[in-house]
Structure 1
Amino acid sequence: MKSNLKKAAVFAGCSLLMLTACSGATAQISNASDVLFQVGDVSVTRGTEYELIKKSNGSTMAVTLIEQAIMDEEVGRGDDIKKQAEKQYETNTSGSEEFEQSLIDAGYKDKDDYIEKVIIPTIQQEKLLDKYFEDNAKAIKKEYKPSIAKILMCDNKDDANNALQALKDGTDAQTVFDQYASESATYGNEEIVVSTLLEDSIPTYVINTLYSAKETGVIDEVMSDDNDSSGAYYIAILTSNDYDENRAKIQEDLVSKASSDIAKECNVYYMKKHNLEIHDQDIFDALRTSNPEYLINHPELAEEDQ
């Protein structure tokens, strides 16, 4: 398991598998003295190039290499992925004979090089997210408190009480929504993924109530937000708060609403699992500025950034 992570960590100066820095350490390359070109009396070596790239784009490249190593470890590049990538390539090209030449013009060696560097990593990213939502289910549930429900927003408490009673009496939900829903309501008579990502539009109390409910159906309570000056009231109809049963739907919704945050959380989860380490001080310092959450043995740095 460690081989791929070590290969990816060569640029980052990694020799172990934790993410921390050795104070003052600087990674070296074995062929640093090789001359790339010479201008007059000035020679530019591979070592010069390495330091330039590292200082200008080192943290980005290091993270990319580490992410790829994690995907290779967790998802792999098996025959099923290769077949899927080949099929996706054929779909993308639609039989165009010029497509491969356009790849070469863009800097790829050939079709296979493009599949290896672009299509397969894209498929791996998707599969890694699937795996993450399964592997880290407990933490995801705790943070996002997801459920599947319908939310009815009413303008006043009387309307909310009447709507609740009508639903309990068996009145068709659409009829109730048509009669009692506020004109400014964000949601109608449709099931949505309710989570903490909706705290700007749905009271936290409603989100928590749905997540902790023991039975599906109409929540027998008129709910409100004490911090909402509009005086809106809410009725909720719970379809399910079973995470495993709705994982695909929950994943799609959370990723669509917070793709960047979810991607970082996924990275951090697997960085911790594989105990990554960066030994180069320059890259450590760059990550401290750009992605302190990736310095997993220094959580205080991420807290400082908040």
Structure 2
Amino acid sequence: MSVHAATAVACPNIAFIKYWGNRDHPTRLPENGSISMNLSELTTRTRVTFDPSLPNDIFDLNGIRQTTASLQRVTSHLNLIRGLRGVSTRAHVHSENNFPAGAGIASSASAFAALTLAAVNALGLEMSEKDLSRLARRGSGSACRSIPSGFVEWYRGISDIDSFAVSIAKPSHWDLVDCIAVVESGHKKTGSTEGHKLASTSPLQNARVQDTDRRLDRCRDAIIARDFETFAEIIEQDSNLMHAVMMTSRPALLYWEPATIEIIKAVQTWRKAGIPAAYTVDAGPNVHIISEAKSLDAIKHRLSSLPGVKEILIAHPGGPAKIV
């Protein structure tokens, strides 16, 4: 086999109805369905080069050679893809993020969406969006949502075959904006992969999962109708439910920092003052403040004055993973 290479770009996503807990960890089959929005200005760019001269896989992330768990995770995913093509050729993976990784901005989602698409393309495999989503899910559950475009729903499914993500609305459907308050840009102590394994130890997880269909329906309907009031109510409730599960797991997971709570309180105050905004927090301390674009300037102005906010990132609804 000669050298074959491809480069892909993918956006991370912010989950409105969140994925937390697997019913099968190796295949990352989720306990519940989820809904998210791709984040256009934030990207992972990954080049995969399959080279017969390489004795082992090589993984460079943001210019730093990886030698531990992250390399093993990439190799495991590449092994799945190599198996589909019937080859064993090792690869050199170059990946660059333009946003903080490991701090609750879904870096693994864009990472494995881009890795999947680039590797599949480099090996000449033909795959539908559905199958790309299924394959990306094997690397990182939320990565399946970064394959399609815009507003995306990940079906829980019954098995590996029907657990994948689809676009429910184009990026242009609703002019939402995600104003991300970065309070910590370092890697979290407990990653999402380990956190998912702890979800079942919380006495609240079953109740959260059983109520998911109601939240999915309300969120989906609110997005289609562009009903921000209903949307805000349901995404905040869903975020709180997930973190309640985290906090009551054994051992407990507390991702929030003091600034996280201050920002949440501020968003509630702003809304009472007539500024439509809603918060949601993934597995990390950073707060995603979702609003319609017309409210962005007011939110940025207020957010910049809050102590503990180190950086503000802005993202709009983003497109699908793509080859570049």
Interval of TM-score (by shorter of Structure 1 and Structure 2): under 0.3
Higher helix proportion: 1
Q: TM-score, normalised by structure 1?
A: 0.21
Point out the structure with max Rg over C-alpha.
Answer: 1
